[in-house]
């Protein structure tokens, strides 16, 4: 028996400048962005997790805008694949809460004063996420008026079709009876449930064999709505645990504000239609 001598391929360790990994990921830039304003070690967790969430918000916007393009091209398979991928991103951003969700009031107060009037509801990328989900509100652009590029981006998102608008346009092209007043509504206003759209989803869910592909579209949208509702609720719980009913850092009503937001449901007819199937 002849033994073949194999040689393990060693990785290249010698580069003239920065590593290709650094050039692609810009890891050093990411790690330079955590600027603590206190000596409390818990602030580092808060900063990193908040920044991770911001990156996820940007990724979700990218995915949902990609899905919109695919729906407009009537490429339902690609759109569903993109939307399924975004569900995993939502699960990731929800999991990020675990690291900071159990802060006691003492732990949060150790660095809270450094936030000043800073608050998560001032996040421009999170606002873009809400706008893409149909949660439109012109007043929420006001905090960004002093930054023209951000204001312009949010103004565009406010007046552009939401992901759900593109879904309903797609269903209309497929022959479903989505009413004209829904298709031609003012896209800058928050989406409100419509009984005719509810009937469309009830029809889709009445027969998997007849409406298999559009029913699967409905299911991935329901996954998105469910994970987004979970993010809002986990935010509420983390805030309640860390600061009780005190006013929020940005001057909002804190927990009371978040409780009001958790009562809203995106893609509302996907939930109510199930009562009629």
Residues annotated as binding site for substrate? 112, 249
C-alpha span between 41 and 44 (Å, rounded): 6
Tokens for 275, please give them.
Answer: 């009562």
Report the alpha-carbon distance of residue 134 to residue 132 in Å, rounded. Answer: 5
Residue 21: half-sphere exposure toward Cβ, Cα within 13 Å: 6
Map tokens 């951000």 to a residue.
Answer: 150
Tokens, residue 225:
């709505």
262 half-sphere exposure, CB direction, 13 A CA radius: 16
Burial tier of 230 (Cβ tally within 10 Å: 0-12, 13-18, 19+): middle
Binding residue positions: 112, 235, 249
Residues across the chain: 277
d(CA 177, CA 196): 7
| Three-class secondary structure of residue 51 per DSSP | helix
Question: Two tokens at 203?
Answer: 């029809």
Please state whether 240 falls in left (phi above 0), alpha (psi between -120 and 50) or beta: alpha
Binding residue ranges for heme: 235
């Amino acid at each position: 028996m002849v033994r073949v001598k194999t040689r393990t391929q060693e990785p290249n360790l010698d580069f003239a400048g920065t590593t290709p990994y650094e050039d692609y990921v810009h890891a050093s830039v990411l790690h330079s962005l955590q600027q603590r304003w206190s000596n409390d070690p818990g602030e580092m967790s808060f900063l990193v997790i908040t920044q991770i969430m911001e990156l996820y918000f940007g990724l979700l916007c990218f995915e949902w805008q990609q899905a919109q393009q695919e729906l407009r091209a009537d490429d339902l398979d690609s759109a569903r694949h993109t939307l399924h991928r975004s569900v995993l991103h939502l699960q990731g951003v929800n999991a990020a809460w675990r690291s900071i969700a159990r802060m006691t009031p003492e732990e949060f107060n150790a660095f809270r004063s450094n936030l000043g009037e800073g608050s998560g509801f001032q996040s421009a990328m999170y606002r873009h996420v809400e706008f893409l989900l149909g949660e439109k509100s012109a007043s929420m652009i006001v905090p960004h008026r002093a930054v023209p590029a951000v204001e312009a981006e949010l103004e565009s998102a406010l007046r552009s079709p939401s992901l759900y608008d593109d879904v309903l346009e797609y269903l209309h092209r497929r022959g479903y009876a989505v009413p004209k007043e829904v298709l031609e509504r003012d896209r800058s206003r928050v989406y409100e449930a419509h009984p005719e759209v509810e009937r469309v989803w009830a029809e889709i869910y009445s027969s998997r064999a007849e409406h298999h592909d559009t029913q699967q579209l409905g299911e991935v949208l329901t996954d998105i709505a469910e994970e987004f509702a979970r993010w809002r609720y986990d935010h509420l719980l983390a805030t309640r645990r860390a600061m009780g009913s005190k006013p929020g850092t940005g001057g909002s009503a804190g927990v009371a504000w978040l409780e009001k937001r958790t009562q809203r449901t995106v893609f509302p007819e996907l939930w109510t239609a199930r009562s009629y199937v």
